[in-house]
Amino acid sequence: MKQTIRTLLAKHGNLPVSIDDVADGADLYDAGLSSFASVQVMLALEEEFDIEFPEHLLNRKSFSSIDAIDAALTEILKEQAA
């Protein structure tokens, strides 16, 4: 799942650095992710995984790192499967 997140970040995140140079736990906002780009990434994730982010996950923390995005997606997918 993290590779898919990285691919979508590379395509929609408009980061000034290569996503390959960003560690899973690194702060994406420090790496140059803007609020607008985080929305674009969120929309791409929703389309890719056929999900919808619930309101409680629509915050800066959920998109602060690849690990955080992975955790949010895992939570959504578990709830969807239940």
Q: What is the pLDDT of residue 81?
A: 85
Structural domain span for residue 11: 2-81
If DSSP codes are grouped into helix, strand and coil, which group holds residue 61? helix
Share of the chain above pLDDT 90, in %: 96
Query: What torsion, rounded to 10 degrees, do the Cα atoms 33, 19, 45, 24 define?
Result: -90
Number of domains composing the chain: 1
Quick one: which of 18, 3, 14 has its CA closest to 69? Answer: 3
**Residue pLDDT, tens place only, 17-63:** 999 999 999 999 999 999 999 999 999 999 999 999 999 999 999 99
Specify the CATH number for the domain of residue 49.
1.10.1200.10
Predicted structure pTM score: 0.95
